[in-house]
């Protein structure tokens, strides 16, 4: 991706049409050198997309993980599914989905408000992006927004529903929906309930269904298992030392340099740009883009080097609070793991006994902290080395990158195929892209036999007891 510069509020290419490119490049280079004039970068692909949009971690858009959707939000590629033989037919779909694009939580809105006050009153400079913040932009986020679903989040789920009905045209159908063979389960949080209603609306609008309303069940035991797991609550959620690596990185040299560069761009004292202020600025850039599709002037406070540091800081949070950092993080999702496989087993047994599959589709809508522990339990995105405060440089090519795994509306799909003669296959898709089960190399196809998948996870299927794992013994963290 090439970058271009925005000078005096206008895109450089527009200015270049009247002079030879070399002349203008020289002028800009001189401007930067003489005045320290910081130009805000944007991508040549699309000036409305911040160059740093690919580093927004759990506050990133689904479209950045599936760029083809920027042009056609309803595009699907069924040929990517590749069942091992033409006689295979999809028999059951379980989808564990994160809610859609949301507003910031109240704690972050308050940080953003403090940052805006600082920039409005103390920053100085003639840069167009700074003048835009100080004279045009207003702090429009209010405390009552507190993590609620944004309108973009409604369309995230409406569009996802339509794409899944196109991806699985014999499963997610109007007939099955009306027959009660499509079940909806959600976290009780408003963003998840509203995402569920949006997903349903995507289907009912597609099929012009107006004569019936469909039910959904609130199930926090499954969708918010982390709240119910005593050991997680006591040893991780309430224990600041569980996130020590994240905290050390936030106080370390890489983050300090980001803070200094922001202070330099704003021409304010270094001590006024704390790590929290840097995080608030990064969040403002991410939320303005995710909610309004705007390449906000706040994004001009970061270059790509800075964004990689901010991304790693949030990946450290997710790694140590929701993933491989502590064993209980993923073991807390045992209850969801068993729920998913119990439904797959039920469908498999109905197929083997020649019965109709009673539950064709289950849509389960939760949070990043619902999906990430489950992906961890299944072994996805595990690196050889843990993410630490001291190995940022070595982790540049890590697979544990929440910008890729966990955007708004992120989803894990498990599709059971009946290939005839008792041959059942199971395919996993993450964010609509087929993924192999980690460590399960199936020689015949990308779609392993269901029994091979069950065998691969036999220890978890036999054990992984939520009550046992979540009991608060005196055993040390990570045992
Ligand atoms: O930093 P914030 O307050 O945004 O963190 C949120 C979580 O957002 P995330 O860290 O995943 O970007 C939010 O997860 P979500 O999937 O529901 O968006 C979580 O529900 C909320 O409690 C905050 O998590 P935290 O761990 O309590 O900071």
- Please give the distance, rounded to the nearest whole angstrom, from the Cα atom of residue 310 to the centre of ligand 1: 16
User: For residue 41, what pLDDT band results from cuts at 50, 70 and 90?
Assistant: low
Regarding whether 173 and 29 lie in a shared domain, the answer is no
- 433-435 vs 3-7, strand pairing mode: unpaired
pLDDT digits (tens, 9 = 90+) for 142-177: 999 999 999 999 999 999 999 999 999 999 999 999
Q: What pLDDT is attached to residue 82? A: 82
Same domain for 203 and 163, yes or no, is yes
Say which residue the tokens 């910008």 belong to: 403
The pLDDT of residue 442: 61
| Confidence band for 85, pLDDT divided at 50, 70 and 90 | confident
Report the pLDDT value the prediction gives residue 71, as an integer from 0 to 100.
92
Contacts of 176 (CB under 8 A, 6+ apart): 182, 360, 361
- Is residue 42 domain-shared with residue 138, that is, in the same domain? no
Residue 432's nearest CA partner among 23, 25, 69 is: 69
Residue 472 lies in a domain: no
Same domain, 40 and 106: no
* Euclidean distance between CA atoms 441 and 427, whole angstroms: 13
Instruction: Answer yes or no: is 479 within a domain.
Output: no
Same domain? For 252 and 142 the reply is yes
124-140 per-position pLDDT tens digit: 999 999 999 999 999 99
Pair (17, 141) in one structural domain: no
> Are residues 104 and 25 located together in one domain of the fold?
no
Three-state SS sequence of 89-117: EEEEEEEEEECCCECCCHHHHHHHHHHHH
Distance 107 CA to ligand 1 centre (A): 10
SS3 183: strand
Q: Which of 59, 73, 108, 120 is nearest to 432 (CA)?
A: 73
Q: Of 55, 57, 58, 192, which is best to mutate to test ligand 1, by the most ligand atoms within 8 angstroms of its C-beta?
A: 58
Strand bridging mode 411-418 / 89-98: antiparallel
Q: Residue 270: pLDDT above 60?
A: yes
Alpha helices per DSSP H over 185-252: 190-206, 220-223, 225-228, 230-232, 244-250
Nearest to residue 306, comparing CAs of 264, 343, 267?
264
Rounded to whole angstroms, the Cα distance separating 271 from 275 reads 10
Q: At what angle do helices 334-352 and 368-377 cross, to 10 degrees?
A: 70
By the 10 Å C-beta count (0-12 exposed, 13-18 middle, 19+ buried), 145 is classed as middle
Dump pLDDT digits (tens) for 316-355. 999 999 999 999 999 999 999 999 999 999 999 999 999 9
25, 65: one domain: no
Tell me how far apart the alpha carbons of residues 453 and 337 are, in angstroms, rounded to a whole number. Answer: 13
CB 208 within 8 A of CB 241: no
Pocket of ligand 1 (CB under 6 A): 58-59, 98, 102, 105, 107-108, 321, 367-369
Q: What is the pLDDT of residue 46?
A: 81
Q: What's residue 23's pLDDT?
A: 63
Q: Is residue 161 part of a domain?
A: yes
For the segment 47-76, what is each residue's pLDDT rounded down to a tens digit?
889 999 999 999 999 999 999 999 999 999
Express as a percent the part of the chain with pLDDT over 70.
Answer: 88
Which of 247, 369, 408 is the pocket-test mutation for ligand 1 (most atoms within 8 Å of CB)?
Answer: 369
The 8-class DSSP code of residue 382 comes to: -
How many other CB atoms sit within 10 Å of the CB of residue 356?
A: 10
Distance between Cα 277 and ligand 1 center (Å): 18
- pLDDT per residue as tens digits for the range 399-449: 999 999 999 999 999 999 999 999 999 999 999 999 999 999 765 556 899
Q: What ligand 1 atom has the least distance to the C-alpha of 370? A: 16
* pTM attached to this predicted model: 0.91
How many CB atoms neighbour CB 64 within 10 A?
A: 19
| Residue minimizing CA distance to atom 9 of ligand 1 | 58
Among protein residues, the one with the nearest Cα to ligand 1's atom 2 is 105
- Number of domain units in the chain: 2
Has residue 417 been placed in a domain? Answer: yes
Q: How confident is the model at residue 308 (pLDDT cuts 50, 70, 90)?
A: very high
Closest protein CA for atom 3 of ligand 1: 105
- Identify the band that residue 86 occupies on the pLDDT scale cut at 50, 70 and 90: confident
* Domain containing residue 266: 48-467
Same domain? 67 vs 41: no
Instruction: Kindly state whether residues 416 and 310 are assigned to the same domain.
Output: yes
Q: Is 99 known to be catalytic?
A: yes
Indicate whether 121 belongs to any domain: yes
| 473, part of any domain | no
Q: Which atom of ligand 1 is nearest to the CA of 406?
A: 11
- The verdict on residue 438 lying in a domain is yes
Of 98, 106, 237, 368, the one to substitute when testing ligand 1's pocket (max ligand atoms within 8 A of C-beta) is 368
Instruction: Name the strands in the sheet holding 40-43, side by side, starting at the edge strand that comes first in the sequence.
Output: 10-11, 3-7, 40-43
CATH number, domain with residue 321: 3.40.50.1240
Region 362-371: mean pLDDT is 98
Q: Which two tokens stand for residue 439?
A: 């460590």
pLDDT of residue 80: 87
Q: How far is CA 195 from CA 25, 153, 185, 188, 257, in A?
A: 47, 7, 11, 11, 39
Where a domain ends, among 47, 67, 82? Answer: 47
Same-domain pairing of 310 and 428: yes
Quick one: pLDDT band at residue 114, thresholds 50, 70, 90? very high
Q: Which of 92, 99, 326, 367 is catalytic?
A: 99
Q: Whole-number mean pLDDT of the chain?
A: 91
- The alpha carbon of 108 and the centre of ligand 1 are apart by a number of angstroms equal to 10
In ligand 1, the atom with minimum distance to the C-alpha of 191 is 17
Whether the pLDDT of residue 17 is over 50: the answer is no
- 202 pLDDT higher than 90: yes
Asked whether residue 475 is assigned to any structural domain, the reply reads no
> What does the pLDDT look like over 204-246, one tens digit per residue?
999 999 999 999 999 999 999 999 999 999 999 999 999 999 9
Q: Which residue's C-alpha comes closest to atom 26 of ligand 1? A: 321
Model pLDDT for residues 445-469, shown as the tens digit of each residue: 568 999 999 999 999 999 999 999 9
User: Is pLDDT above 80 for 257?
Assistant: yes
CA of 93 to the centre of ligand 1 (A): 27
Do residue 145 and residue 179 come from a single domain? yes
């Amino acid at each position: 991706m090439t970058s271009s510069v925005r000078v005096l509020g206008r895109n450089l290419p527009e200015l270049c049409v009247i002079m030879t490119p070399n002349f203008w490049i020289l002028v800009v280079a001189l401007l930067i050198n003489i005045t320290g004039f910081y130009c805000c970068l944007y991508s040549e692909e699309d000036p409305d997309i911040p160059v740093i949009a690919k580093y927004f971690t759990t506050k990133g858009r689904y479209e950045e993980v599936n760029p083809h959707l920027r042009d056609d939000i309803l595009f699907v590629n069924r040929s990517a599914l590749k069942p091992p033989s033409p006689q295979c037919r999809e028999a059951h779909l379980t989808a564990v989905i994160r809610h859609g694009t949301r507003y910031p939580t109240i704690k972050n809105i308050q940080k953003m408000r403090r940052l805006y006050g600082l920039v409005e009153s103390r920053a100085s400079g003639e840069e167009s992006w700074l003048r835009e913040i100080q004279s045009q932009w207003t702090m429009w986020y209010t405390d009552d927004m507190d993590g609620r679903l944004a309108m973009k989040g409604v369309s995230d789920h409406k569009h996802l529903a339509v794409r899944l009905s196109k991806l699985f045209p014999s499963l997610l159908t109007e007939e099955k929906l009306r027959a009660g063979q499509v079940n909806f389960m959600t976290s009780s949080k408003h963003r998840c309930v509203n995402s569920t209603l949006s997903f349903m609306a995507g289907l009912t609008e597609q099929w012009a269904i107006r004569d019936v309303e469909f039910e959904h069940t609130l199930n926090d035991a499954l969708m918010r298992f982390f709240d119910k797991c005593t050991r997680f609550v006591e040893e991780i959620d309430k224990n600041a030392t569980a996130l020590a690596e994240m905290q050390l990185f936030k106080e370390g040299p890489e983050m300090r340099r980001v803070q200094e560069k922001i202070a330099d761009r704003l021409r304010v004292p270094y001590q006024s740009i704390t790590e929290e202020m840097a995080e608030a600025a990064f969040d403002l850039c991410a939320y303005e883009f995710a909610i309004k599709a705007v390449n906000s002037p706040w994004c001009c406070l970061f270059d790509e080097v800075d964004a990689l540091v901010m991304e790693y800081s949030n990946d450290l949070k997710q790694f140590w609070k929701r993933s491989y950092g502590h064993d209980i993080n993923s073991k807390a999702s045992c209850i969801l793991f068993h729920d998913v496989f119990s439904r797959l087993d039920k469908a498999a047994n109905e197929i083997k006994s020649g019965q109709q599959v009673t539950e064709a589709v289950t849509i389960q809508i939760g949070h990043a902290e619902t999906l990430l522990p489950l992906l961890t339990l299944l072994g996805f995105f595990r690196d050889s080395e843990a993410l630490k405060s001291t190995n940022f440089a070595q982790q540049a090519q890590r697979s544990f990158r929440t910008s890729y795994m966990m955007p708004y509306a992120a989803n894990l799909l498990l599709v059971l195929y009946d290939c005839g003669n008792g041959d059942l296959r199971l395919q996993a898709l993450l964010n609509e892209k087929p993924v192999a089960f980690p460590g399960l190399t199936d020689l015949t196809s990308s779609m392993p036999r269901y029994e091979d998948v069950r065998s691969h996870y036999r220890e978890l299927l036999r054990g992984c007891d939520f009550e046992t794992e979540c009991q608060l013994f005196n055993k040390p963290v990570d045992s």
